[in-house]
Every structure is written in C-alpha cells, then in structure tokens.
Amino acid sequence: MGADVMIERISETSPRLKARITGAIYLLTILTGIFAQGFVSGSLVKAGDAAATATNILTHRGLFQLGFAVYLVEMACQIAMTALFYDLLKPAGRSVSLIAAFLGLTGCISKLLAASFSSPPCSSWEARTT
C-alpha cells in the first residue's frame, strides 16, 4: 500500500472516528504522564537530597529507563494528538487551527528539550524546586 493510498484513506475517515482516536490518544497521554512523572519520578526523586536520588536511580536503573521510555511515548502521543486536533479543527478555521498546532508542537519540543537536559529526565517540577 503506497503513501498516497494511506493519506487518501486517512482523509476519508469520518470526523467522529478521528475524534474517538484523538480521545484515545489523549487518554494514553494522560496515563503515561501519570506513570512517568507521578510513579517513577515520585519513587526515585528525593527532594533536596541529590545523593539519595542518584542512589535510587542507580539502584533502580530499569525503572528509570522504563520511566524515560514511557515519557517518550507520552510525547509521541502528544504530537499525534496535536496533529489530529489540527485536522479536526481545520473546518472551524484553518489559520486558528494552524496557530494552535504550532503552539502545541512548540510546547512538545520545549518539554522534550527540558527533559533531555534535566536529571533525571522525568522529574517533576515540585521535586526540583523544593
């Protein structure tokens, strides 16, 4: 199946199905975010104690890596959700939908950059500021 055929099938998909797919991806984004930032970060990061945090990360290396992988899945879902929202909202106003998609993708990029330069990558804001 060629790319042209796939693009044509996607464009022929009903708005209701696209909305359901978008909702499912939105739910997946929420659940992966809760796991990566709530459970993994909450169990590994000890606020105000960098040595304990480093020890936890080294001791639970598999959990740390799983949390980062799930975080990347969250970002992929968020990018897909932004593209689907753009397609769904295009009939309401193409320029406003394009601006919303641009802002959504900008947020995804900044979040990915922040995660790749922070240590640990999926630590929550509260843990870093307290």
Each residue's pLDDT tens digit, 50-106: 898 889 889 999 998 898 889 889 999 999 999 998 988 888 888 888 998 999 999
Looking at residue 126, its pLDDT comes to 41
Query: How high is the mean pLDDT of the chain?
Result: 82
Q: Which residue has 């909702």 as its token pair?
A: 23
What pTM did the predictor assign? 0.72
Question: Considering its fold, how many domains does the chain have in total?
Answer: 1
What is the predicted pLDDT for the residue at 112? 82
Report the alpha-carbon distance of residue 110 to residue 104 in Å, rounded.
10
Of 7-11, 46-50, 56-60, 122-126, the one with minimum mean pLDDT is 122-126
Q: What is the mean pLDDT of residues 18-46?
A: 89
| Cα distance between residue 107 and residue 16, in whole Å | 26
Expressed as residue numbers, the domain containing 31 is 3-129
The Cα 14–Cα 63 span in angstroms is 40
Q: Degrees (nearest 5) of the Cα angle 97, 98, 99?
A: 90
- Name the nearest CA neighbour of 122 among 31, 30, 25, 42: 42
Find out whether 94 and 68 touch, Cβ atoms under 8 Å. Answer: no
